Structure 1
Amino acid sequence: MSDDRVPVVLVTGASAGIGREAAAAFAEAGMTVVLAARNEERGHRAAEEIRAGGGKAQFFRCDVTEPEDVRELFARITVTYGRLDYAFNNAGVPGDGRLVDVSEEDFDRAFSVNTRGLWLCLREELRLMAEQGHGSIVNNTSVHGLRTVFPGIGAYVASKHAAVALTRVAALEHARDGVRVNALAPGPIETEMLAASEAAVGGATTWRGLIPSGEIGTPRQVADVAMWLFSPASSYVNGQTIGVDGGFLAV
């Protein structure tokens, strides 16, 4: 069992990008971090780096599209720590291709990870947090979940809209259980996923022309807002999707 004074936070999709940087930021803030991802090598390395820096972290392999993996993850969290204070549901994949061209496999993959995988994790988090009587969940969605920014990524856009809807429903259903559920809607963030989108939708080059500040965000900027949503400072914020986007959604 963990020290009751140290918050325990789960980060999915923690082996790279926003998830990896968020896990490091949470550890720096004094939290015990549970990293979960499919890539074992990168996941273990991320946890080792946090521990080498003096933080508390442990990696558990989990494919969020597999119900048994998700159940096993939460069983291990319960046995190891006895509770879960916060969760950052960050696992996600792109979904490139115009709707008339995208394959059934790619369309299903986007929803399997970005929507169904989110729900599978939410289900376990909500059960555990409702039982313990407290908790704060932050789902990492996208500005694409609030606005159709440009064509060519229809499966991704649709899956992120669904993720926003799941956030609202979960918040409504568990508001009286001491559990808050909110979402972040990042704009362009310096990650491998953004770099990979250059060919399909122009990546950072296109985004700089759309963001009022003209700047690309960093994973740490996303993590900082997640930490605020975890904290008592946001205790009256529930069911919201907050843009972390340099002002894009204000245009």
Structure 2
Amino acid sequence: MAAAGRGGVVVNVISTAGFRGTAPGLAAYVSSKHAARGMTRQLALELAPHGIRVLGVAPTYVPTEGNRIAGAGPVPDGGSLPPMMLTSRLGRVGVPDDVARVVLFCASDLSVLMTGSTLLADAGETA
């Protein structure tokens, strides 16, 4: 992007784990998400002179087939919800499209004055 000289946008998908701890045994995962937030901020500084914006999106847990395979919980159409989802302040479980909409906002000109920020797509989880 920098070599092309036309600017652009980098959107890093992070996690709410980049804002707080999650559960025992996830120190490496949580640390990597905090690092991704730091990288987002630093790259925003380094790439701004090239007209490149860098933003992060930190979604809460969203049940997907990939998460089920990884052992992280049920898919939307089967099984019970993980306990963390029973406390959603919005009263519903997120779906991948919810996160995609936030990423789309970041990649669009609607966020033209933003760089270095990480947006929470967390149904109020970290409030």
Q: TM-score, normalised by structure 2?
A: 0.85
Quote the residue 1:105 is aligned against.
none
Structure 2 residue 121 is matched with structure 1 residue 244? yes
Structure 2 runs not aligned, ≥5 long:
75-79
Quote the residue 1:162 is aligned against.
35
Structure 2 residue 16 is matched with structure 1 residue 143? yes
CA distance in structure 2 between the aligned counterparts of 1:172 and 1:181, rounded to whole angstroms: 9
Could you tell me which amino acid in structure 2 is paired with residue 240 of structure 1?
Answer: S
Structure 1 runs not aligned, ≥5 long:
1-128
CA distance in structure 2 between the aligned counterparts of 1:242 and 1:141, rounded to whole angstroms: 9
- Structure number with bigger Rg: 1
Structure 2 residue 67 is matched with structure 1 residue 194? yes
Cα offset, 1:182, TM superposition: 0.5
CA distance in structure 1 between the aligned counterparts of 2:33 and 2:65, rounded to whole angstroms: 19
Query: How many residue pairs end up in the alignment?
Result: 119
Quote the residue 1:15 is aligned against.
none
CA distance in structure 2 between the aligned counterparts of 1:204 and 1:153, rounded to whole angstroms: 20
CA distance in structure 2 between the aligned counterparts of 1:158 and 1:210, rounded to whole angstroms: 24
Identify which of 47, 57, 73 aligns with 1:184: 57
SS, match of residue 132 in structure 1: coil
% same residue: 38
Quote the residue 1:46 is aligned against.
none
Quote the residue 2:96 is aligned against.
219
Q: TM-score, normalised by structure 1?
A: 0.45
CA distance in structure 2 between the aligned counterparts of 1:158 and 1:224, rounded to whole angstroms: 26
Cα offset, 1:193, TM superposition: 4.1
Considering Cα pairs closer than 8 Å and 6+ residues apart, tell me whether 1 or 2 has the greater RCO: 2
CA distance in structure 2 between the aligned counterparts of 1:144 and 1:193, rounded to whole angstroms: 18
Q: How does 1:69-218 map to 2 (within 5 A)?
A: 129-133=1-5, 134-195=7-68, 196-198=71-73, 204-218=81-95
SS, match of residue 243 in structure 1: strand
SS, match of residue 136 in structure 1: strand
More helix as a share of residues: 1
